[in-house]
Structure 1
Amino acid sequence: MKGIQIIGTQRSGSNLLRVMLNQLPAICAPHPPHILDTFMPYLKQYGSLHDPFQFMELIDDVCQLIESNPVPWVGIQLNRQVIKTRCKTNSLIEIFKVIYELKAEKFGKQFWCCKSMPNFRYFKELELSGIQPFYLHLVRDGRDVAASFKKTPIGEKHVYHLARQWKKDQQASDRILSKVGPRRGIRIHYERLIRSPEETVAKVCNWLNIDFQDSVLAYYQSRESALAAASGDMWANLQKPILSNNHGKFSKELTPGEVVIFEAISGQDLKNYGYQPVDPANLNKNLTEAEIEGFDADNALMKREAIQRQRPDDLKKRLPQQKLKAKIARRNVF
C-alpha cells in the first residue's frame, strides 16, 4: 500500500484532480477531512499518546472528524479498535496512514491519495514515519486562485494575503520536490489538466507505474463527484465535464489594482511557473506599511462577510465538524 500526497494551494483544481484519480482502479482518493492540519496544533492536549486511553481518545476524535465531514466517506465503517490494532506506533501520523489504508483496502486499491494540500507542512513527519508518499504538486495561476478564494467561505480574502499564501505554498512544494527527486515528486499545471486531461492524467499514471483508463474523463458521472457537489457550492463544477476555458478569469474577477498587488508580491513566482504578469513593472511595485495595515483590516472584514454569506444548507453541513473542532480546541492541556 502506497500513499500519494497532493500539495500546493487549495482552489487550484485539486478536487477535480482527486475525483479523476479516484476513477482509476489503482487509486482511492476520498475527500479530505484534513486530519493532520486539524489535529497537529492540538496534539499536546492529548498528553502522552503512550497512554492507551489518550491514544484511543485521539483515534475516536479523528474518526469523528471523518464521520462529520461535509463530503461523506462511503463504503467504510471506522472501527476504532481495528484502527488501534493496526497502528504500529502511537502517533497521529500512524492513525492518518492506517485510516487511509483501510479505506483503500475496502475498495481493493493499491494507492491511497490525500488531497489535503496543506500537508506539505508535515513533510518531515511524513518522511520520518516511513510513509514517504509520492508528492504531486498541482499548480495553478495564482491570480485565478485568488479570484476563486474570494468567492468561497474559506481562506484569506484580500489579494495581498492570498498572494503571500500562494507564493509561500509553491515555494514549500518546490523544496519538497527537490528533496524527494523525480521518482517521488511530480508537478502538473491545472491549465494543462483542463486543456489536455487524458494526456496529463496518463503522465501521472506513468509516473506511478499504473494503467491509465478513459474512465477518468467520466469523473462527473461518479458517485464521488455527486457527493462532493451536493455538499457545497465550492464543488458544484464536479458534476460537469471539464471546463477547458476555466482559466485567466482573474482578468475579469480581480480589479486592476488587485492584479498589481498580486504581481508585486508574487510576480516573479508567476513567471517561474510560466504565467506572465499583466505588467512587468508590477514586479517592482513597493507596498507601504500603511497600505499593508489597511489590507490586514480589509482582509479581516472580508473574511467575516464571506462566512455570513454562506448558504444556510452549506452551513448546516459544516456545523457538526465545526462543533467537533471547537470541542477539541477546548480540551485540557496536559
Structure 2
Amino acid sequence: MMNNGIQIIGTQRSGSNLLRVMLDQSAEIASPHPPHILVTFMPLLASYGTLDAVSYRQLVKDVVAYVNVNPVPWEGVVLDEEEIFRQSESYHLFTLNRLIYEQAAISKNAKYWCCKSMANVHYAAEMEAFGLQPKYVFLYRDGRDVACSFKKAIVGEKHIYHLAQQWKKDQMACIRLREILPADRFFSLNYETLITAPENEIRRLCTFLDIDYHPDMLQFHGSKTSKLTAAAGEMWSNLEKPIISNNTGKFLNEFKDNDLEIFELVAGEVLTALDYKRYALDADQRLIDAAQLANYDQENEILKQEALAVARPSDLENRAPQLQILKEIKSRTTCKVQSI
C-alpha cells in the first residue's frame, strides 16, 4: 500500500484552497479540488450493505461519477472504474479514496497526492488503523474570521453559535491528532503567518514534505487551477489575486450584536490554545444557556436558506450534478427498503 498522501486538516474557509493551489504549482504534488469523498460517502455506506464484489463495484461507479462532476474539474485525470476496482486490495471506501487520489498523482507524474477535505481529520483514527498514513498539514486560522467567511459562503453553518461549535470541534480533533503522531508526519501551519510571510512558510512546508521549493508556488494566482477554481464559485474568487496579506481581524468590524461573546464562550479555550487574543473575557454565560439553543437552531436554518436564496445561480448550477447523484443513491436506498 502506498503512503504517498498529504492530508490538509482543520476547518474550511481557513485558506485551504489557497494552500492547495500553491502546492499544486509543484511538479511533485497533485492537489485537485476536493469532492469530499469520505465526508460525503461515509454516511451513505450503510445503504450499500456489506461491501462485496457487487456492492463495492456500485460504490466505485457512484464515487467516480461524483468526482467527475466536481464543481472544479480534475483536469487531465481519467478515472477508469474497472481499473480502480481491479486495483482495490480491499473493498473499502478508504481504499477507493486513496486510489482515486493516486490516479491524480499518476496523471501528473507527481510524488504526492494532496487531499484538501479538511474534515477528514474526523476519520484520521480509522484511516491510521486501516494502514493509511498520510502526512498531515494542520492549517488553522482565527476561528472568528473563519466564522465571518462562512457567513457569506453558500455552504456551512450560519449562526455564530454553530460556527463556533464546528470550529472548536475541528481544531480539537487536529490538536489531539498532533499529540499522538510523530513530528515527521504532522505539520502545523498558521494562516495569518502564511499570508504575511508566505515564502518562509512554504519553504518550511517544502522541507517537511521533502520537496523542492519553487517560486511559482507564490505565483499561483495566474495558474490554470486557480482560474478554474475561481470560475467555479464566488467563494473562491480570491484565488485569481495575489495573497491578501491583511486578510485578518475582519471579525472586529463584521461581528454584530453578541457574536463575539457567543463565539468566545463556546471556543475561547481553543482560541487561547492556538495563541489568539480573546476580547470578551467577561461574556454573559446565559448567552449559551440551553434555553437559547433552540432559537439559535431555528435562526441557523433560516440563515442557511437565505444564503441559498441569494447565491449566484452559476454556483448552484455547478453543484447540481453532485446533488443529483446523491439524490439517486438515496432513492435507490428507499426503493430497496420498500421492496423488503
Question: Normalising to structure 1: TM-score of the pair?
Answer: 0.96
Task: Tell me the distance in 1 between the aligned counterparts of 2:135 and 2:84.
Answer: 23
Task: Tell me the distance in 2 between the aligned counterparts of 1:268 and 1:124.
Answer: 24
Give the alignment partner of residue 9 of structure 2, picking from 7, 11, 14: 7
Q: 1:283 to 1:10 in 2, by over 3 A?
A: farther
Is the CA contact (8 Å cut-off) linking 1:267 and 1:282 kept in structure 2?
no
| Post-superposition CA distance 1:127-184 (Å, at most 9, x none) | 1222211111111000000000000111110001100110111000111111112111
Matched residue, 1:279: 280
| Post-superposition CA distance 1:25-69 (Å, at most 9, x none) | 21111000000111101112112222x221111101000111111
Task: Tell me the distance in 2 between the aligned counterparts of 1:79 and 1:7.
Answer: 28
Q: How does 1:233-272 map to 2 (within 5 A)?
A: 233-272=234-273
Matched residue, 1:175: 176
Matched residue, 1:26: 28
Matched residue, 1:163: 164
Matched residue, 1:199: 200
| Post-superposition CA distance 1:163-219 (Å, at most 9, x none) | 011011100011111111211111111001100111111111111111111110010
Is the CA contact (8 Å cut-off) linking 1:12 and 1:190 kept in structure 2?
yes
Matched residue, 1:112: 113
**Equivalent position SS for 1:282:** coil
Is the CA contact (8 Å cut-off) linking 2:10 and 2:170 kept in structure 1?
yes
Q: How does 1:68-83 map to 2 (within 5 A)?
A: 68-83=69-84
**Equivalent position SS for 1:330:** helix
Is the CA contact (8 Å cut-off) linking 1:263 and 1:283 kept in structure 2?
no
Is the CA contact (8 Å cut-off) linking 1:94 and 1:129 kept in structure 2?
no
Q: Does 1:99 align with 2:100?
A: yes
Task: Tell me the distance in 2 between the aligned counterparts of 1:211 and 1:296.
Answer: 47
Matched residue, 2:89: 88
Matched residue, 2:19: 17
RMSD of aligned C-alpha atoms?
1.4
Is the CA contact (8 Å cut-off) linking 1:8 and 1:169 kept in structure 2?
yes
- State the identity %: 44
Number of equivalenced pairs: 333
Task: Tell me the distance in 2 between the aligned counterparts of 1:311 and 1:286.
Answer: 34
Q: Structure 1, unaligned stretches of length 5 or more?
A: none
Task: Tell me the distance in 2 between the aligned counterparts of 1:29 and 1:283.
Answer: 44
Is the CA contact (8 Å cut-off) linking 2:262 and 2:287 kept in structure 1?
no
Post-superposition offset of 1:102:
1.0
Q: Structure 2, unaligned stretches of length 5 or more?
A: none
* Aligned residue type for 2:11: T
Post-superposition offset of 1:286:
5.5
